[in-house]
Amino acid sequence: MRVSRASRFALRTVLLLLVVALAGCSLFNRGKKGSELDTLPVEQLYQKGVTAVEGGNYDLAARTFQRLITRFPFGPYTEQSQINLAYAQYKANKPDDAYSTINRFIRTYPTHKHIDYAYYLRGLINFNRSGGFLERYVGQDMTKREQTNQRESFDDFGALISRYPNSRYAPDARQRMVHLRNMMAQSELNIALYYYKRNAFVAASNRAKAIIETYPQSPQAGDALAVMMLSYRKLGQDKLADDSKRVLELNYPDHPALRGDWPHYRSNWWKLIPLLNRS
């Protein structure tokens, strides 16, 4: 059965009108959503953002809290919305935005009742800034890793514990500080081993000594003493080597370096797993 030219034209016209109608509905719905953020009272707007966070819609939550802050620049809802905005940005994997938001909050409201959480959140943002633990360290050369974010996170958690030792977030912050301390110590140890492997014994012993002075309670302290002992021996500084050996024997009597079975240059990623090495 052949379709006439007029019928084909009518069919194309109907399809075109349908597409236009659907596009119009989509634009209308978008406009309606946008206007809702512009018209809701502050209480309902805040609740909409909270609901979005609870539902895992962090982009919508961030837009909602940002609009609330713009429309209502003062008041308790606005203050709390700035914390919520930073959290939503953090969960939406926008660490730079989250860090900027929470920093601004800390500067603006230093006596806020939730200021302890603000410090804790800032620590979390830096803690996770470079991605997950396994993505960052397993199988990677940590001597090439930048430690700035980890040091800033350590300082943030330290500020929380120092200023608000009874905060509900303090226990978790302490555990994260232990993990960060071990992680930074491991990075320094890898550098020391890198120097030792390339016969740069002065640099290796200096880096290892810095580990002992800066991270004395870390699991890497024993390996640092071993690097010092071996490096001093290579440099012909037998007294320093013997002193390092005595300290190593006293504190780590089973260390393989005392048996001449170290270093192997194997990865020590397991030492960085959070909470396995508590001090």
Q: Convert the pLDDT of each residue in 170-204 to its tens digit.
A: 999 999 999 999 999 999 999 999 999 999 999 99
pLDDT > 70: percent of the chain: 76
Average pLDDT on 216-220 reads 94
Which range of 36-45, 141-150, 261-270 scores highest in mean pLDDT? It is: 36-45
Phi/psi for 254 (5° steps) reads -100, 10
Band (pLDDT 50/70/90 cuts) for residue 157 is: very high
Residues 205-209, mean pLDDT to the nearest whole number: 98
Summarize pLDDT for 237-279 with one digit per residue, the tens.
999 999 999 999 999 999 999 999 899 755 454 444 444 443 3
Closest CA to 68 of 57, 79, 59, 53: 79
Tell whether pTM > 0.85.
Answer: no
**18-43 average pLDDT score:** 65
Better-scored residue on pLDDT, 76 or 34: 76
Give whole-number Cα distances, 232 to 196, 202, 208, in Å.
11, 8, 11
Tell me, what amino acid is at 88?
A
Q: Is the dihedral of CA 53, 59, 60, 65 positive or negative?
A: positive
Residue 165 confidence (pLDDT) above 50: yes
Q: What percent of the chain has pLDDT over 90?
A: 73
Report CA-CA distances (Å) from 25 to 12, 44, 69, 164, 180: 20, 25, 29, 52, 52
Compute CA 227 distance to the chain's CA centroid, rounded to the nearest angstrom.
Answer: 30
